Amino acid sequence: MYWTLELASKLEDAPWPANKDELIEWSIRTGTPAEVIENLREIEDEGEVYDRIEDIWPDYPTKEDFFFNEDEY
- Say if 49 falls within a structural domain: yes
- Cis amide prior to 17 (ω within 30 degrees): yes
- Say if 2 falls within a structural domain: no
Give burial (CB, 10 Å; 0-12/13-18/19+) of 38.
middle
Cα 31 to Cα 4, 10, 73, distances in angstroms? 17, 10, 35
Considering its fold, how many domains does the chain have in total? 1
What integer pLDDT is reported at residue 70 of this predicted model?
58
Q: Which of helix, strand or coil describes residue 69?
A: coil
Q: What is the pLDDT along the chain (73 residues), one digit of tens a residue?
A: 788 888 988 998 999 999 999 999 999 999 999 999 999 999 998 889 999 999 998 888 765 555 555 565 5
- Say if 72 falls within a structural domain: no
- Say if 3 falls within a structural domain: no
C-alpha 49/C-alpha 55 separation (Å) is 9
